[in-house]
Structure 1
Amino acid sequence: MINLKFNLQYFLLTILIFLVEVLIATQLKDIFFVRAYLGDVIVVILIYTFIKSFFRIKNNEKLILGILIFSFLVEFAQYFNIAEKLGFREGSLMYIVIGNSFSWIDILCYAVGCLLLYLFVKIQQPQKVLD
């Protein structure tokens, strides 16, 4: 079930994660591991916190799965140069957001990010008491 409801904590966390992503893209771009892998792991968490900022979603596992599928679709769209086909110029914000090169490593990074997110969500949920 999805309800529209603003959550300030998730919104502030979204801003923080976004700033980390900007820092990675602009200041840490010369550190290969951080730029090439960590940013892709974190971006799925950014999407999760952004969605949770505006919607109360009871089934977090389905949300995480949806984010994983979405990130895979975006990555596969890069294989077909979707940013160029949509008319975005190289270097433009949307060209950078959509991406421009397919990578199996990016797919793995998105999966790792969603797995970490899933584990975190599971830890946060109260355990059901067995009767």
Structure 2
Amino acid sequence: MKLTFNSKFLFIFLAIFLIEMLIAKYLNDAFIRPFGGDVLVVMLIYSFFRIFLVTDNKRLALGVLIFSFVIEFLQAVHYVNWLGLQDNTFWTVVLGTYFSVYDLLAYFVGYLICLCFKD
């Protein structure tokens, strides 16, 4: 693993970030916002790291998937309350407040898409 600057992944990151913001602001449906947003968040985190790191993409994608799963399982024990952020709308949206098996599935789909990214 070494440091770099990859403008392709910067563009991907910014595009996904913009899409996530648009989804959060304008969509309140039963599929795209909850499922599509979670697929995209894995890709967002992955692409952020790829801006700065030259590394094994499979290993990085797996690390992001594991991180996403850990956060999801922490939601089951209400970690936002532990952090005292339950009244902060921004952090409750970013960190999530409830566990869902469907979120784990969405993260896995995002992981599979990340495996398709090449340098």
Give the TM-score of the pair, scaled to structure 1.
0.84
**3-state SS of paired residue (1:115):** helix
Q: Give the counterpart letter for 1:107 in structure 2.
A: L
Equivalent position of 2:53 in the other structure: 55
Q: How does 1:94-113 map to 2 (within 5 A)?
A: 94-113=91-110
Contact 1:47 1:67 in 2 (8 A): yes
Q: How does 1:1-131 map to 2 (within 5 A)?
A: 2-29=1-28, 31-57=29-55, 59-118=56-115, 120-121=116-117, 124=118
For 1:51 and 1:80, the matched residues in 2 are separated by: 28
> What is the CA RMSD across the aligned residues, in angstroms?
1.4
Q: Give the counterpart letter for 1:42 in structure 2.
A: L
Cα deviation code 1:58-95 (max 9, x no counterpart): x1111111111000000000001111111113343222
**3-state SS of paired residue (1:51):** helix
Q: Number of matched residues?
A: 119
For 1:115 and 1:90, the matched residues in 2 are separated by: 34
Give the TM-score of the pair, scaled to structure 2.
0.92
Query: Which range moved further: 62-71 or 84-93?
Result: 84-93
**3-state SS of paired residue (1:32):** coil
For 1:49 and 1:72, the matched residues in 2 are separated by: 18
C-alpha deviation, 1:4, in angstroms: 1.5
Which structure 1 segments of 5+ residues have no match? Answer: 126-131
Cα deviation code 1:1-57 (max 9, x no counterpart): x1121222211211110110111111012x221112111111101111100111111
Contact 1:84 1:95 in 2 (8 A): no
Q: Give the counterpart letter for 1:37 in structure 2.
A: F
Identity of paired residues, percent?
39
Based on CA coordinates, which of the two structures has the bigger radius of gyration? 1
